[in-house]
Each structure stands twice: as C-alpha cells, then as structure tokens.
Structure 1
C-alpha cells in the first residue's frame, strides 16, 4: 500500500474516532462503560460479594466475643453494618473510576498532603485500641488515615517518578524516599508495622518498574534489611511480634502466636469442603474473626477450596492489570496502575500468610473481604483509581499501522 493510501486510511480512522468521541461526549456513562475494564470491574464486584458472605459467617462469633455478654446484640450485627458500608463505598468506586486522569491525579496529590498531616497527629490524638493509636474519632465514627493514604501515596509517588521520563536528572528517588520515610516513621509511632511494610514495599516496586539501576536497588535492599534489624533491636513492638512468631508460647492467649495458631486451627477445621454456612464452631475462639482473621473463618465454613478460589481471584486482579498495561505508553498511568495493583495484591498476600501461619500477626485486613468502614471506602477509592487509570477507548487504542497517540487521553 502506498503512503498516500495509508494517509487516507489514517484520516478516515481519525474522522470515525472524532464521530465516536462526539457521541461519547453526549453520553458520559456510555463512554465510561465502553472504556472501563469491565472484566476488572466484574472481578472486584465478585470479591465484594464474597466478602459480604464471609462477614455473615464471621459476624456471630465476633458479636458474641465483643458484646460483653449483652444478649440483645444481634448475631448478624457486623453483616448489616458491612452491607451499609458496601452500599456507600460501591458508588464511590464507580464515581472515582469516571474521573479524568488529570483530575484524579490532582485530587490524589491534594489528598496525600492532607492525609500525611492527619497521619502525623494520629499517634497523639488517635483512639487507642489493642495498644495502638491508628484511628481518629470524628464523632460520628472513626477514621483511619493510613488506609486512605495508601492509594493517594501510590498516585503521588507514581507522578513524581514519571517526571524522570522528561528529565532523568531529577532527584525523584530521594524525594519519594523521603516521603516514604516520613510516612513510615509516623506509622511506627502508632505502631503499625504491617502498613509500614506495605508502603515501603510499594515504593520499592514502583522504583523497580520505573527502571532504576540494579545497583541502586541492591543498596536499597541492603538498607531495608538493616532497618528491619534496627527495628528488632530498638523497637519493642517489632521485637515482641518477631519473637512471638519465632519462639511462640502456645499457653499464652495474650500473644500474637496464640492468634496465629488459632487462625490456623480455624482455617483447617473445615477440611477441604468446609462445615457449611453457619456450621463453624472453632471460630468462636478466634479473636478478630470478622477483620484480620476472616480468611480462617472462610476456611472453616466453606473449606480450603474456597480459600484457594479467593487467592486465585486476588491473583487474577493483579495479572489482569499488568496484562492491561503491557502496551501502555503513559509513564504516569503505567506506574500508578501497577502500584495500586501491587498494593492490593501485597495486602491480600500478607493477610493470607498470617492466617495460614507463615507470617507474624500484622493487624491487616483482607481487601474487600474483611469487615471495616475505613478499609472498605479506602479500597473502593483505590479500585476506582485503578479502573480510571486502565480505561481505554476501544476505538483509539491501536490502528493498523502501530500505536496512535491521543492528545486528549491525559
């Protein structure tokens, strides 16, 4: 085909695109539905539905444990509360997924600044629970800044690292490292070692994806090992958690090893197919059955097969996002979407590792499965951002002659 023929084809394609863009402008919801990754959205909805069933299974055990002997407390209290949080958070996810990329980025930058300030004051004004100050009492409810900061931090870090594509001399490694260090320091004051691991891990993953030298990455890895050793030496909470995991005391119900061991017992009590909905009995001995250890409750009542299916669903979300990003040309969208997927998968992996007894207790929820208002809304914001950054206009994605840049996709 001659160059003139190719030029006519490209002009015809652009004209068709402009026509379709005009139709999309008249129907924002229709445009969103064409562009959004419907497979990813469906997987998220399935996970939320599974989570509601899991909370229903765990609710009676938690209601009995935390009611203080009050027989008037309904056994399905946490289920109904979780249903309310889902009714609030799911529209939030859809609205966030409709945001233009530029607006979503600006809102995340603003949100990150506000939430870092909130994180700084949390150790001093926060509500204490189980020996930690991670929540701020707003009167009508409690608010956990670190949960909402995670997606904002990822988007902010992705934007800063994407600036290196324009100017490789910018010191974004040190800028993002300083931001991560400030956040990690605030989290350790609460204390919240699990969230610290998530923030540092996501930062490291974004550095790798952005293409920093292997030598620099090795130096950062060595520094990370040194920080863990320093935390064990000088940070009492970390030392207690690590010692409790490596040298468990099965006779003490006050230690993390007791919780991890009990979670393992609950997880395996149902065998391969489980005891059936409502048939679990060991779960009544499990602390935090509706939050940190809900994966174990799923294992008792629905079996190890159900646990494997949940793990596969989390893996499917991460794989789906990375496959979607294989031909992404925008450095910011690539980093932001990849970082959000890594955070989602890493949090799920840590929670499941604790439940099966191969990691010490972290006090971390299982995304979209565990009970919690702050967690559910924050995860919905994160998933909404992930859907926004992976949106593609199917008529603009590729032409017969290679990638076509669209100046409007910012």
Structure 2
C-alpha cells in the first residue's frame, strides 16, 4: 500500500499507465493537523467568536440607528448579517493558516509584514479619513493596514531576535528597535496612539524574553515614557483624550457614556434588545461593545468574557512553557501579547480606566478587516504552536528564559 501523498504504482508491469495520486493526501493532512493543533485553544477562540455574534446582535440596532442619524438607512440587523459573513470568512482563513507548518507560517508572517508595512506608508497620502483620523485604505472595502501588520510585526521581530542563536554579536536589539521606531512614526502620522502603544507592548515583551539586560530594559522604559510625553505635547488628539481621562470626563464623553452603559444592566443585565443606554453610545458595535454586553447581559457575562480571554492567554503560554525553538517561543509570545493586549486595553477603556483608543475587542467586535486580521493572527498562533504529542522536548522553553539569569548569577558567585 502506498503512503499518504505518494503515487500508487500501475498494476500489471509495463502497462504504461500514468501513476495516480492516492486519495489519502488531504485526509492524512487533516489527521496530522488534528493531532498536532492545540484543540483547547481552538475551542476557546470559537467560543469567544460565538459570544461575539450574540454581542453584535445586541449592538446592531444601536449601530443602525447611529448610521440613520447620518442620513444612511439600513436594516436593524445589517451589521449582524455582515458580521456573520466576516466571521465565516475569518474562520476559513484561520483554519487554512493553521494547516501551515512552522517554517511556512514564518514566511507568511514576514511577507505580511513587508506587504502591510508598504501599505502603511501609503496611508498618509491616499488613506481615507474617518472621525479625524486617516487610518484606512479603500479597495472596495475599508482596509486598515495596521491591523494586519500586527501579527507580521510579531513574527518579524521574533525571527530577527532568534538570530542570536547563530551569532551573539549581531545587533538584533538595534534592528528591532529601528523597526519599532519606524512603525511608531507612521502610526502617529495618522494619528493612532492606541496602536502605537500596542506595537510597543509587543516589542517590549519580545526583547524582554530575548534576554536583554536589566540596564537596557530600564533605558527602554525611559524611552517609552519620553515618547508618550512627546505624544501628549505634540498631538492634539492624544492630549485631548488623556486630559479627558485624567479630568474624569463629562456626561457627553464617549468613555463616560460607555461606563454608564456598562453598569446600567447590573449583575444580570436588562435582557437581549432591552437595553436603552446603548442607543446613545457611539461605536456600540465596535469600540464599546463590551459596554453593550454589560447593559444587556450583565456584569457576570462581562466577567465570563474576561475569563475566556485569560484562558486563551494561559492556554497559549502553557503551550510555550516547554517549547525548544526560540523563534516559535518568541513568535507565540508576541502573538499572545497582541491578542491579550488589545483585549484588555479595550476593556479598560470601557471601564474608564484607560484613555479612549479607538481599538476593537478581538473576536467579539464587529469588523471586516479587523475580524479577518484577528483570525489571521490566531491562525498563525495555532500553526506556530502545533507539535507532535509523541515527541519529547529537549529544553524547558519559557522556564529556561526565567532560569537563565539565576544560573548566571550562581556561576558568577561560584
């Protein structure tokens, strides 16, 4: 019997028939994928997407009414139908990307980084302006290049930092810092302080895991504080949002409206489509969907969603604990930082614990390119964390990174 993906020999030697591919190829690939993929992580992601569908259903009437006030009339469930379509496309893409092996996922991430960095260069010149920010390109649909650049950025930085294994003298920190500075400059031209902070968080986590010295970490933190201070003084949008946050806001501020909506439902909520405060909340289906969940389904449901995010982060990190490939370890950590960081920035904004950033809630908020981008990120994470359960690991992964400084100190004392 021929192996999977091989060619079956023609019967009756000398018959001259062309060899035929066996039909086991895709079935065998699917079996290998199912054996190696993190099924728990995949289940948690699909659970969160299902909760997101219900949340968009709750927010859709408010979003449609807000659009109607601007002279555009759509069905109450227009956004729900669109969201289901984007989610279906996102799931197909996510599963497709997760079938890639680790090297192919790395190449795809690097290509995504290069392609969307180029598009990010175009945004200040040909981008579309919405709500005072120029972040989108129009290709028949609105595309926000920074959303797709995030996973490519994590993959690219992980790849560069993994070069340390080949040569300890390579200036990898200089390379990744220069890339971070370039992207931060392009984002602040839009301006997009929230995305800049998220990219900075991914960069910081990766250089920290790559073994940067304490002195350099202190310098990096100081550099970040200088950058935020400069943003406050030189960017009006950033200064307005920070001042509004520090001043406590007013009843007309988006963040204050979001907090009031979030708390209006109490512990158990007012019920699906029974919330009233959401009707006056701008971007109820995107930036402030967490508040809509609080009003209609209660604070208990909000707590459940936070727990699911924590479970996704914890499940992915547990997968990396004994990872013996430095690139996979750094890339997985960077992608998890992206998902977790974006989720909790959005939640903190809704709780009025962070200035408004115009950032969606991953896997839950309505969105076209944002939904596809998050699913692309999860697909890369699933691909990079795939592993044969029958192979033993040669090192202790994350444990090694945290134990390395202790071992070095012991050797110096000895």
Q: Structure 2-normalised TM-score?
A: 0.88
Partner of 1:234: 234
* Contact kept? 2:249, 2:256, Cα under 8 Å: no
Distance 1:365 1:225 in 2: 24
Q: Deviations over 1:133-167 (max 9, x none)?
A: 111011x2111100000000100000000111221
The change in CA–CA distance for 1:210 and 1:93 in structure 2 (over 3 A counts) is: same
Aligned to 1:247: 247
Structure 2 unmatched runs, 5+? 7-23, 397-414
1:92 touches 1:384 (CA, 8 Å); kept in 2? yes
Gaps of 5+ in 1: 1-18, 405-410
Distance 1:355 1:315 in 2: 18
> What is aligned with 2:150?
150
Alpha-carbon displacement from aligned partner over 1:90-148 (angstroms, at most 9, x marks no partner) = 0100000011111111122122112111101102211110000111011x211110000
Please say if residues 323 and 395 of structure 2, whose CA atoms lie closer than 8 Å, have aligned partners that are also in contact: no
1:208-357 matched pairs, under 5 angstroms: 208-250=208-250, 253=252, 258-357=253-352
197-206 vs 233-242, greater mean Cα deviation? 233-242
1:21-55 per-position Cα deviation (integer Å, ceiling 9, x unaligned): 99999700010000000000000000100001000
Contact 1:48 1:369 in 2 (8 A): yes
SS in 2 for 1:27: helix
Contact 1:24 1:30 in 2 (8 A): no
1:20 Cα shift?
A: 11
Would the alpha carbon gap of residues 58 and 202 (structure 1) be closer, same or farther in structure 2, given more than 3 Å must change? Answer: same
Paired position in structure 2 for 1:34: 35
Task: Tell me how far apart the structure 2 counterparts of residues 72 and 348 of structure 1 sit (CA, whole Å).
Answer: 31
Aligned partner of 1:125 in structure 2 is: 126
Deviation at 1:326, TM superposition (A): 0.8
> Separation in 1 of the partners of 2:214 and 2:74?
56
Preserved CA contact (<8 Å) 1:397 1:403 = no
For 2:90, what is the secondary structure of its paired residue? helix
Q: Any conservation in 1 of the 2:64–2:73 contact (CA below 8 Å)? A: no
Structure 1 counterpart of 2:384: 389
Which is further off, 381-390 or 72-81? 72-81
The number of equivalent residue pairs is 377
Contact 1:97 1:388 in 2 (8 A): yes
| CA separation of 1:233 and 1:390: change in aligned 2, threshold 3 A | same
- Residue 249 of structure 1: CA displacement? 4.9
In the TM superposition, what is the alpha-carbon distance from 1:395 to its structure 2 partner? 1.7
Instruction: Please list, as runs of the form range in 1=range in 2, the aligned pairs for 1:363-402 lying within 5 A after superposition.
Output: 363-397=358-392
Look up the SS of the partner of 2:357 in the other structure.
coil
RMSD over aligned Cα atoms:
2.0
TM-score computed with the length of structure 1 as normaliser: 0.89
Contact 1:24 / 1:31 at 8 angstroms: preserved in 2? no
2:196 aligned residue: 196
Bigger Cα displacement from structure 2, 367-376 vs 240-249: 240-249
